[in-house]
Structure 1
Amino acid sequence: MAVGPNNARHAADEEARAEVDVLNSRLEKTTQLTKKIQACLGRLDATGKSVHDVAGPLNSETKKLQVLSHNIDSVIAAIERLRQPADSKNDEEQIIRMGPDKAGLSNYLASIKRLSKALNDMKASNLRSTQQTVAELQRLVKSGHTQLENSFDKVLRSETPRAIEPLHYITKDKQFPVLSQDKIVRLGLMNSYVSGVHRQSAGTGAPQESPVAKIYAEIRSQYLAQTLGNLAAASTNTAKKKNADAIYRAGTNGIGTYAQAMESLFLSEYENICNIFMREDWGPVFQATCQPSLVELGRTLRELNSHIKTHMNTDCYLAYEIVEIVSSLSNNLEERTGELKSSLAASLKPVRETAKSSLAELLEDTKRRVTSLQMLPSDGAPIPVISETVQRLQSMVDFLRPISSIMISIGDGGWKSATASRGGVTEAIPSLSSFDIGADGKEIFAHYCADTIEALMVALDGRARVLLQKKPVIGVFLANSVTIIERMIQASELAGLLEPRLQVLDQWRKKATAMYTETCRDLSVYLFDVIHTSRGQRPTSGQGAVDSASILKSLGSKDKENIKAKFQAFNTGFDEMVLRHKQFSMEREVRQMFAKDMQNMIEPLYNRFWDRYHEIDKGKGKYVKFDKSSIAAVFLSLY
């Protein structure tokens, strides 16, 4: 049936009203639900507060339970770790019992390290149940350390001879032997572990107190001392000369070879130490190893020093040589190792003091030897003390390096008193620069030589005046002394040092000449004439040839008798002077010097006197014994 438009609109409105009713119904239900939800939320909020008050403590307890669980897990893990060494103790003990040789050093060291770590872990746990295991591990570790030390001792002794012959290496210029490379590696590994344990247990303990360091120093020090023992003995034996009065010559004592062997041997030993020990241990171990040899060196030097002091005049040069040799040894070792300088300085100190004091003592001895003379040669001959004194200075030049050092240390003029020469002595050995022979050292030594020569001449002059008394013989004696001194200086290395200071000898030569030619002055009196004549009769002088006859005619009889007396007195005095001149014991240079001085003083005066008065006896020779040619011949015979 067909539906009209009105019916259709009505149906649509009904449908819309029906939808609105449905929506209103749903809105009412939503409002009711919202109220219920709000009520539930209120009740839930109240319940949440209650739950929070209850859940808070539960959360804290839960965390505590978690920590406890973690701790329990850690304890279980620690117990598992503690059980491991206890379980493997038998295996490690077997390795320890085998020892480093059978088990192998690397395996052995690894085993000890594992045992040591396990021991430390157990000690840290402080569990009572592990105390027995701790004790057993301590026993094994201690046993392992002992066996390592014994193995170190064994290996080192197997490589160390009781002694070797040092001359074999010195004469062939070969390095002294060192430990083999494989043994050095083995010893180094053992030392590294033992020293590490020692440092941990001893804290800042001295490195040389390490067990293996003590073993090394004990074994190798005996080897060093035994090797050097014969050379030490040879040094003292060679100091004893067959001729006790012989002057010591450089290199004749065994101290040089002794020091050379010590230096080479010590350097080889230092190389061993550097290859086995750690850097901070090198110095202390080296010092400990060398100490017995240094003690023996000190004893040897003290014995040599006693010998030198007993034979100062002949063996003081040995003291100078020892100073140079031991100082060089010290400087070389210091440069290469940085060690032993103070020890060597202490050993050298007695000899160095003797060397310093010898300068003043030798100077005083020179004076004493002259002043103690009870007689001198009546002919003016030189005496041995003169040449011996210069020989002493010549010998010193052979030791100019150490003497130069000593001179610098006591200062210029420090030898003028024994007290001054002993003052300022120090134990320190001078550095290398002190042994450089610079101008200062040479100059001071030259001053010492000049002082010695002056002291000798003053003593000789004083003694000659007492014992010889007569001026001519004193002059001969002093001139001979000057000539010998000068000749010996010029023929030696002293010449270059003393050339600027030889004026001291020129002064003494002039003094000797003045004393000897005093007789010439006495003779010259006879050759001077004082003749009183009238102005018209005065003899000409210096105007052409002299006419002796005419001069004599102008003289009175009294003057002529005076001229005759003068000729006679001159003849007698001249003959005596010539005879005495020939009888004196003179060095060739002295005889020529004095003959020339006599001729220069007398011959011109005599020739003048002869020219004027030789006609006094008309050539009969009764008064005029010498003509000009014959007296010249006499003078020539005196040369």
Structure 2
Amino acid sequence: MVGTRNAAFAEESAEVEVLIASLGKTKDLTKRIAGSLSRLDASGRIVKDAIGPIYNNTQQLQITSGNIEKVNEAIEKLRQPLDARGREENIIRQGPKAAGLPQYLGALKRVDKALTDLNSSNLRSNQQAISDFHSLLSTGVNQLNDLYRQMLQEDAQTIEPLQNITKQIPFPTITQDKVQLLSQISMAILSAGTQSARLGQNDDDVAARIYAEIRGDYLQNSLQNLSTASISTSKRRANDSSIYREGSSGIGAYAKAIEGMFLSEAENTSRIFRNVNDAGRIFTMTCSKALSTFTRTLAELNNFIKSRILTDCFLAYEILDLITPMSYRLDSRTGQLRPQMTDALRPIRETARSSLSDLINQTKRQAETVSTLPPDGNTIPLVSQTATRLQNLALFDRPLLALLSSIGDGNWRAPQGMTSQSSLNLELTPSSENPNLLSHFLLDIVDTLLTTLNARSQTLHPKKYVQGIFQLNSVAVLSRAVQSSPDLARYIGISPHNAKFETYRRTASSLYMSAWREPTALLFDSIHTGSGGSRPMSGQAIDSTSIIKSLSSKDKDKIKEKFRLFNASFDELVARHKSLHMENEVRSALSREIQGTIEALYGRFWDRYHEVDKGKGKVVKYSKEEFSRLLAGL
């Protein structure tokens, strides 16, 4: 055991000695490495001190070289516009026709870009070059302006819009090929204007001005004849008192032409000037001359209307009916011209509004100034004129309903109710309006006329029966106008509005029929037939002979006197009735009323007492059959 343990110790001791020997070698190697690193560091410092200045110089040379290259590039870039001058100047001097428009526009575009580049360099040395390029650009644009103007004038020949309207031919527009060229030219002119603005020259709207000038003259000249025709067809002689008839003025054709030509022009501007705002602005500029003439035309027509309000107010309503919806259509299609149309229409609109009270007031004034009335009860021209006026008013229900709605029910009766300024909702949609307003207004005219004329009749016609006939004739003329006009009947020919006519008719009929009460009263006998006689039972035949025999001589004389008085009064009434002028419907109605009032009474009286003169005809002048035929002939 002891021998084994000593052997193990000896082996471990040998390993330790080997490790100690290896450690010694490692330390020796470490010292050598440390010495080598020290020597290498010293050599590096020597190299750094020698190479450092050379490296720094190399970096500076690289930076300098880069700067030189950038300067060369900038110089080259600056030289490019200057080099382009010679190339583009030759094209521009030739003009767009000789050089060809695409090549010419390309040259202008390159000159424009060269100017932009030169301006961005901000070098004082380039100022002369900038001036030269701008002069070249101006020369090119001036030639382009001439070409632009010439191309526009080719399509600016005056037309006759009436032919397009009557033949339903669309109004002409600029062809698509020419539109593309005009669009390119206008963009080039606009771009050149931007360069001018940089030099302090406000010249950036040349294309718009040229277009508006040439196309504006085209619109103005083409529409001028219709403007003149609208005025000439609306003028009338001083002694012409007839009421204006719808469509008599040329304003309808004028309005159609304006709408058609303006819409065609809006199509042109939208295709040539691609920017929506520019297109709308230029369209408005283009239409300004024609709109000015249109405004003056309406102002002149307004003066005609105001001088003849009773007969020509309908022209104002027609203009409102035509122009107001036209302005809405133009606005919806173009987005323009609504304010201009509103301003042009304002004088007509205010005149139309004030005419509502004028119609009533002047109708009353004319009726009050009547100095004589026909002695036979005939009506006067004022009644038929008013009837025609009522029919015409019903034709223009759309503008009238809008006007009446703007002032309120009944406010047309007093001028002070019309003085406030109003924008007036003139959408002209009667479905949203109250039709009773127009019914009330029309009935106010009727009431004003009949009330005033009835008062004059009481002064100028001493006899009530003449007053009654005059009033009945007046009501008949007005009623006939209502019945013959579906438009008018829609407002005052239906219940409850037609009750107004019936009220006047009953009052007038009562006045006339009062004259027939005297002979009618004579037919109510108070003769007693004596104790021996008795009245026949209902349905039993009357025996006149028996009745007469039962009467005393005194009673017979009373009966004979009644027959004489009745005959005299009746004959006078018949003669008077036939001498009076009566409208057909008045004569028929009165004949029926007289017949219903007196025929039955006379028949009863005749049945009882016709034997009083024993058939000699001296006292009993008319048999029942003769009496009936006479009444039927009234």
- The answer, yes or no, to whether TM exceeds 0.5 is yes
Q: CA deviation at 1:282?
A: 1.3
Q: Give the structure-2-normalised TM-score.
A: 0.84
Which of 252, 263, 266 aligns to 1:267? It is: 263
Q: CA deviation at 1:597?
A: 2.0
Q: Residues 239 and 253 of structure 1 are in contact (CA less than 8 Å); yes or no, is this contact kept in structure 2?
A: yes
Q: CA deviation at 1:43?
A: 6.1
Output aligned runs, 1:15-414, within 5 Å.
34-42=30-38, 66-161=62-157, 163-196=158-191, 198=193, 210-241=205-236, 244-280=240-276, 281-414=278-411
Output aligned runs, 1:410-449, within 5 Å.
410-420=407-417, 423=420, 425-426=422-423, 430-431=426-427, 434-435=428-429, 437-438=430-431, 440=433, 442-449=435-442
Distance 2:52 2:577 in 1: 141
Q: CA deviation at 1:214?
A: 1.1
Q: Residues 524 and 605 of structure 1 are in contact (CA less than 8 Å); yes or no, is this contact kept in structure 2?
A: yes
Residues 438 and 124 (structure 1 numbering): CA distance in 2 closer, same or farther, change over 3 Å?
closer
Distance 2:204 2:248 in 1: 42
Q: CA deviation at 1:551?
A: 5.0
Per-residue CA deviation, residues 222-248 of structure 1 (Å, 9 max, x unaligned), is 121111111111111111236722332
Aligned twin of 2:6:
none
Asked whether 1:473 is paired with 2:469, we answer no
1:302 counterpart letter in structure 2 = A
Q: Residues 472 and 505 of structure 2 are in contact (CA less than 8 Å); yes or no, is this contact kept in structure 1?
A: yes
Distance 2:101 2:424 in 1: 47
Does the residue aligned with 2:493 lie in a helix, a strand or coil? Answer: helix
Asked whether 1:498 is paired with 2:495, we answer no
Asked whether 1:511 is paired with 2:507, we answer yes
Does the residue aligned with 2:234 lie in a helix, a strand or coil? Answer: coil
Q: Residues 82 and 118 of structure 1 are in contact (CA less than 8 Å); yes or no, is this contact kept in structure 2?
A: no
Q: Percent identity?
A: 42
Q: Residues 208 and 288 of structure 1 are in contact (CA less than 8 Å); yes or no, is this contact kept in structure 2?
A: no
Give unmatched runs, 5+ long, in structure 1.
Answer: 1-23
Q: CA deviation at 1:378?
A: 1.4
Q: CA deviation at 1:179?
A: 2.7
Does the residue aligned with 2:457 lie in a helix, a strand or coil? Answer: helix
Residues 30 and 491 (structure 1 numbering): CA distance in 2 closer, same or farther, change over 3 Å?
closer
The range that moved more, 41-50 or 241-250, is 41-50
Q: Residues 410 and 423 of structure 1 are in contact (CA less than 8 Å); yes or no, is this contact kept in structure 2?
A: no
Q: CA deviation at 1:70?
A: 2.5
Q: CA deviation at 1:342?
A: 2.0
Residues 126 and 356 (structure 1 numbering): CA distance in 2 closer, same or farther, change over 3 Å?
closer
Aligned twin of 2:600:
604
Asked whether 1:523 is paired with 2:516, we answer no
Q: CA deviation at 1:627?
A: 4.3
Aligned twin of 1:591:
587
Distance 2:578 2:134 in 1: 104
Residues 146 and 556 (structure 1 numbering): CA distance in 2 closer, same or farther, change over 3 Å?
same
The range that moved more, 55-64 or 211-220, is 55-64
Distance 1:224 1:441 in 2: 40
1:224 counterpart letter in structure 2 = L
1:371 counterpart letter in structure 2 = E
Residues 290 and 128 (structure 1 numbering): CA distance in 2 closer, same or farther, change over 3 Å?
closer
Distance 1:201 1:87 in 2: 22
Q: CA deviation at 1:56?
A: 9.4
Residues 44 and 335 (structure 1 numbering): CA distance in 2 closer, same or farther, change over 3 Å?
same
Residues 74 and 516 (structure 1 numbering): CA distance in 2 closer, same or farther, change over 3 Å?
same
2:493 counterpart letter in structure 1 = E
Distance 2:47 2:281 in 1: 76
Distance 2:203 2:515 in 1: 84
1:486 counterpart letter in structure 2 = S
Per-residue CA deviation, residues 592-634 of structure 1 (Å, 9 max, x unaligned), is 3223322322233333334444455555555544443443343
Per-residue CA deviation, residues 12-57 of structure 1 (Å, 9 max, x unaligned), is xxxxxxxxxxxx9x99999667535424534655787899899999
Per-residue CA deviation, residues 70-95 of structure 1 (Å, 9 max, x unaligned), is 33321121012212332342222222
Q: Residues 345 and 427 of structure 1 are in contact (CA less than 8 Å); yes or no, is this contact kept in structure 2?
A: no
Residues 359 and 33 (structure 1 numbering): CA distance in 2 closer, same or farther, change over 3 Å?
same
Q: Residues 407 and 441 of structure 1 are in contact (CA less than 8 Å); yes or no, is this contact kept in structure 2?
A: no
Per-residue CA deviation, residues 487-533 of structure 1 (Å, 9 max, x unaligned), is 23222323444331322222222112211111222333323344579
Does the residue aligned with 1:540 lie in a helix, a strand or coil? Answer: coil
Q: CA deviation at 1:581?
A: 1.3
Aligned twin of 1:4:
none
Q: Give the structure-1-normalised TM-score.
A: 0.83
Residues 191 and 575 (structure 1 numbering): CA distance in 2 closer, same or farther, change over 3 Å?
same
The range that moved more, 617-626 or 275-284, is 617-626
**Root mean square deviation of aligned Cα:** 3.6
Does the residue aligned with 1:146 lie in a helix, a strand or coil? Answer: helix
Q: CA deviation at 1:99?
A: 2.7
Q: CA deviation at 1:258?
A: 1.7
Residues 213 and 578 (structure 1 numbering): CA distance in 2 closer, same or farther, change over 3 Å?
same
Distance 2:477 2:89 in 1: 89
Distance 2:61 2:518 in 1: 139
Distance 1:53 1:312 in 2: 115
Q: CA deviation at 1:287?
A: 0.3
Distance 1:59 1:518 in 2: 141
Residues 526 and 297 (structure 1 numbering): CA distance in 2 closer, same or farther, change over 3 Å?
same
Q: Residues 231 and 257 of structure 1 are in contact (CA less than 8 Å); yes or no, is this contact kept in structure 2?
A: yes
1:164 counterpart letter in structure 2 = I
Distance 1:633 1:35 in 2: 170
Distance 2:250 2:228 in 1: 9
Q: CA deviation at 1:284?
A: 0.5
Per-residue CA deviation, residues 380-402 of structure 1 (Å, 9 max, x unaligned), is 11211121111122233444444
Q: CA deviation at 1:278?
A: 1.2
1:308 counterpart letter in structure 2 = I
2:604 counterpart letter in structure 1 = R
Q: CA deviation at 1:189?
A: 0.8
2:308 counterpart letter in structure 1 = H
Does the residue aligned with 1:634 lie in a helix, a strand or coil? Answer: helix
Distance 1:123 1:200 in 2: 10
Q: Residues 357 and 421 of structure 1 are in contact (CA less than 8 Å); yes or no, is this contact kept in structure 2?
A: yes
Q: CA deviation at 1:541?
A: 5.7
Distance 2:32 2:60 in 1: 41
The range that moved more, 468-477 or 416-425, is 416-425
Residues 314 and 50 (structure 1 numbering): CA distance in 2 closer, same or farther, change over 3 Å?
farther
Aligned twin of 2:578:
582
1:594 counterpart letter in structure 2 = L
Distance 2:621 2:28 in 1: 188
Give unmatched runs, 5+ long, in structure 2.
Answer: 1-20
Aligned twin of 1:12:
none
2:289 counterpart letter in structure 1 = P
Asked whether 1:464 is paired with 2:461, we answer no
Which of 569, 573, 577 aligns to 1:573? It is: 569
Distance 1:113 1:633 in 2: 105
Distance 2:32 2:553 in 1: 194
Between the two proteins, the alignment pairs up a number of residues equal to 605
Q: Residues 224 and 293 of structure 1 are in contact (CA less than 8 Å); yes or no, is this contact kept in structure 2?
A: yes
Distance 1:484 1:520 in 2: 24
